[in-house]
């Protein structure tokens, strides 16, 4: 019997499954299919424009495109995610409480990303 195979054929099944996973990764580029939540954020969005050029700790005021409200924005942190993408966490403060937006670079643009930890900056 060839090495790596047992009588139940588990070795063949495992090899086939590995090939399917590799094919899926090659097809999408990173193993993850893009979702609607990752739609490319236009650089004309003032929060995205701020995040793209600011350094951690930087603050500014921007006019939000959708509402016309003036918001105070602060770049909380910039980091490289496990996916290898450059990400920026931005706190947006309007008349209400602060909102956090997470933006990650994809090619020449930026995409909204879902934070893995909610309210990560609340304790800082």
pLDDT tens-place string over residues 14-50: 444 443 333 333 333 443 444 444 556 667 799 999 9
**Burial class of residue 98 (count of CB atoms within 10 Å of its CB; 0-12, 13-18, 19+):** middle
How confident is the model over 73-95, as a mean pLDDT?
A: 95
Residue 81: DSSP 8-state: -
8 Å CB contact between 10 and 16:
no
How confident is the model over 48-71, as a mean pLDDT?
A: 94
How confident is the model over 86-110, as a mean pLDDT?
A: 92
Could you tell me the strand order of the sheet in which 70-80 lies?
40-41, 109-112, 98-106, 86-93, 70-80, 59-63
Given this model, what pLDDT does residue 5 score?
47
Which residue is listed with tokens 């996973």? 21
Give the span between the Cα atoms of 118 and 87, in whole angstroms.
Answer: 16
């Amino acid at each position: 019997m060839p090495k790596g195979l047992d009588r139940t054929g588990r070795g063949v099944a495992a090899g086939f499954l590995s090939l399917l996973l590799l094919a899926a990764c090659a097809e999408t580029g990173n193993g993850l299919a893009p979702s609607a939540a990752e739609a490319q954020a236009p650089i004309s969005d003032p929060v995205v424009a701020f995040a793209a050029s600011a350094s951690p700790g930087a603050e500014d005021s921007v006019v939000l495109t959708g509402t016309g409200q003036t918001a105070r924005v602060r770049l909380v942190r910039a980091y490289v995610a496990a996916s290898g993408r450059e990400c920026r966490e931005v706190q947006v403060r309007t008349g209400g409480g602060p909102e956090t937006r997470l933006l990650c670079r994809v090619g020449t643009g930026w995409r909204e990303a879902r934070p893995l930890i909610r309210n990560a900056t609340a304790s800082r």
